[in-house]
């Protein structure tokens, strides 16, 4: 069994991970079908598929978050989630 894949990305939405970008991200994480977590700074990792958990991070534009995915297609899942996080959904 391989180790979980991890990636640190910068939040691209100009208003941070608020309702709409958080919803898009959490839905994509849920649809991935493998466990995905997201954390900010020294805070604990939360379930990326939970919109409330994602919003509770308080991630603002320019903040760095760390994603971790564990499963057969973890790298592909992280590619898709990274694209969601780095895109400005408020533009």
Q: What is the CA radius of gyration of the chain?
A: 12
- Give yes or no: 18 in active site: yes
Question: Measured between alpha carbons, how far is residue 81 from residues 1, 4, 21, 69 in Å?
Answer: 22, 15, 11, 10
One of 7, 18, 23, 30 is an active-site residue; which one? 18
Known catalytic residues? 18
């Amino acid at each position: 069994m391989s180790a979980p894949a991890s990636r640190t990305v910068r939040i691209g939405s100009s208003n941070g991970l608020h309702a709409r970008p958080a919803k898009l991200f959490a839905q994509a994480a849920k649809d991935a079908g493998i466990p995905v977590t997201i954390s900010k700074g020294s805070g604990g990792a939360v379930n990326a598929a939970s919109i409330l958990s994602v919003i509770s991070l308080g991630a603002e534009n320019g903040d760095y978050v760390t994603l971790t995915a564990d499963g057969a297609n973890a790298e592909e899942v992280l590619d898709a989630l990274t694209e969601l996080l780095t895109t400005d959904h408020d533009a």
